[in-house]
Structure 1
């Protein structure tokens, strides 16, 4: 399978990418920067430029994949739980929309107890 992975250069995402590739999957990793792209390419991950604030880039990445895994995290620590929950909702909604109508699956966990704005 080809998996679109947000947060692919991060602590968790880089390990998820490695596990996916070890299991024989192709990984398309989201990155904002050239340095991130170089890190992904060095580890065998295909590069998709964009960021979690660009729903268009998320949908384009999701459409190129058989499934998605969201591990990205916004490190702005002001109102962190609410912001993280809202960003996660937007990311999942955008990628879920892109995957709609297919036999693809979106599975997610949100680690905050604060409500998600809609």
Structure 2
């Protein structure tokens, strides 16, 4: 399969691309810089120069491939407009892929979050049958999807796209992660001289090695039916205290 991947040089993408290539797929990654292009070439992918802001360019690119894996996002908007601005920018991006894929049955796999079902699952584990949570916008008085990227991708199944969402665990770890939750906690412990946790540290976190998540992206691309959510989770209930104790033990600092 000829696959177009966005975010191929990020933490998730840098594992997804080799996973796809090892399975025999021909992968082309979106690159907006010479550095990104070199990184994609180094792991065996072809390069398509472009940018997430170029919606017609994304549509044209998607039309040339047998499937799309989208794990990139407009990180540049995070500090100025927060997650709402990032999500708002993602919707037209997903729809740009959907335009050439409509009616073809070709796959579109989009990265989501394990937290998207939200408080609707309070008291029980979230399942792959739980849709993204919808909440009321207090300021505008209208219903909107907190996870509009997920619902937009899933909605494309009604237009003949084999679309699905891989919800990544809260902690997606590997030795190459430099900006995730765990590296942040480790850096904080080094700065403060101890590995702390909130309250009694009993609140639970879920985790997955990003290599396992990459395998799930591949399987969703190859075999996943339209309109499905998939949960990339291995460890389902790690307490914050256990995480802090592990960090403290490794760093040799109090916890």
Give the Cα separation in 1 of the matches to 2:111 and 2:46.
25
SS at match of 2:9: coil
Match of 1:21 in 2: 21
Matches within 5 A, 1:63-102: 63-76=63-76, 77-102=79-104
Give the Cα separation in 2 of the matches to 1:36 and 1:2.
20
- Partners of 2:70 and 2:109 within 8 A in 1: no
Q: Deviations over 1:5-37 (max 9, x none)?
A: 011111111111011111111111001011111
Question: Under a length normalisation based on structure 1, what TM-score does the superposition of the two structures give?
Answer: 0.87
Give the Cα separation in 2 of the matches to 1:83 and 1:62.
24
SS at match of 1:53: coil
Distance 1:52 1:71, change over 3 A: same
- List gaps (5 residues or longer) in structure 2: 117-144, 149-255
SS at match of 1:108: strand
Number of corresponding residues:
118
- List gaps (5 residues or longer) in structure 1: none
Deviation, 1:74, is: 2.0
Deviation, 1:39, is: 1.2
2:9 is aligned with 1:9:
yes
Name the structure where strand makes up a greater proportion of residues: 2
2:66 is aligned with 1:34:
no
Give the Cα separation in 1 of the matches to 2:64 and 2:96.
14
**Greater relative contact order, per chain length (Cα 8 Å cut-off, separation 6+):** 1
- Partners of 1:82 and 1:115 within 8 A in 2: no
Q: Which runs of 4+ in 1 moved over 6 A?
A: none
Question: Under a length normalisation based on structure 2, what TM-score does the superposition of the two structures give?
Answer: 0.43
- Partners of 1:8 and 1:14 within 8 A in 2: yes
2:79 is aligned with 1:47:
no
Give the Cα separation in 1 of the matches to 2:147 and 2:80.
16
Q: Which moved more, 1:74-83 or 1:59-68?
A: 74-83
